[in-house]
Amino acid sequence: MQERYRSIVDVHVILYQDGQILLLERRATGYADGKLHLPSGHLEEGEPLHAGAAREAREEVGVALDPGHLTLAAVVHHRQREDLARVGMFFVATRWSGQPHVAEPHKAGKLVWADPSLLPSNTIDYPAAGIRAWLNNAGYVPHGW
């Protein structure tokens, strides 16, 4: 019998304020260094999606989110390479406590507030696909297939 398909589940947070979203510059990770990404990461074992999103926002940009106030914005099935796919769950937050800052300076450089409809050219394609899906009310989009 063929083994069941398994995929990495990522959680992404779109911090949205005054018509702009927060992006982080990746640094010293070995993946897309120098490019922009949303606060995000892998879902941990036994963790609900919305709690994982709130945790990642706290870990990466130091803000506290109430998981119950997050809105699921989009789902992206991303094919990273032929033998690796990921399912990205994109959540929107319009309220949080704390001032966003680089909370993991060993993994991230500067923070950038950007117009989501005019993303900087160095935004990684995968999160850009989720942001576009959110803006277009697409719900679900495949990316890289």
**How many C-beta atoms surround the C-beta of residue 129 within 10 A?**
21
Residue 108: in which H helix or E strand, if any? strand 108-114
DSSP-assigned letters across all residues of 5-20: P--EEEEEEEEEETTE
pLDDT in the model for residue 114: 98
User: Using one digit for the tens of pLDDT, what is the confidence trace for 91-115?
Assistant: 999 999 999 999 999 999 999 999 9
User: Using one digit for the tens of pLDDT, what is the confidence trace for 22-42?
Assistant: 999 999 988 899 999 999 999
Two tokens, residue 84? 């690796």
Three-state DSSP class for residue 121 = coil
